[in-house]
Amino acid sequence: MSNPWAGEVTLVIEGTPRVMKLTLGALAELEHSLAVGSLVDLVQRFESGGFSAGDVLALIAAGLQGGGHAMTPSDLAKAEIEGGVLMAARAAAQLLARAFMTPEET
């Protein structure tokens, strides 16, 4: 079970619930791998609906890393995610939102 107060989000991958979290290190790697100007640019893409499947995979991979579950975007691309694309995109957006929200905002 994830703790939203700690920025955690749970996603079921290959039948196993995985708790994800965007740590500072995971965010830095994410920023570098997506070649975005800043994390604010990435947040704006999600807010406007202009994100890509690659953005979703990269965010989930970063969240898994932060949660202690190493899985590459290419591994994720082949994995069975409960709820499919919609649940993956939702979890990615939640990860990003929770990384920058205070507990009062959740």
Q: What is the pLDDT of residues 33-52, one digit of tens each?
A: 776 667 777 778 788 888 88
Domain that holds residue 12: 4-101
Residue 45 is assigned to a structural domain of this protein = yes
Pairing of strands 16-20, 9-13: antiparallel
Number of domains the chain contains: 1
Reported pTM: 0.84
Domain contains 90: yes
pLDDT at 74 over 60: yes
Examine the pLDDT at 19 and tell me if it is beyond 90. yes
Is there a domain that residue 44 lies in?
Answer: yes
Give the pLDDT band (50/70/90) at residue 75.
Answer: confident
Contacts of 90 (CB under 8 A, 6+ apart): 83
d(CA 104, CA 83): 28
Task: Look up tokens 């609906």; give the residue.
Answer: 49
Instruction: Evaluate whether residue 106 is within a structural domain.
Output: no
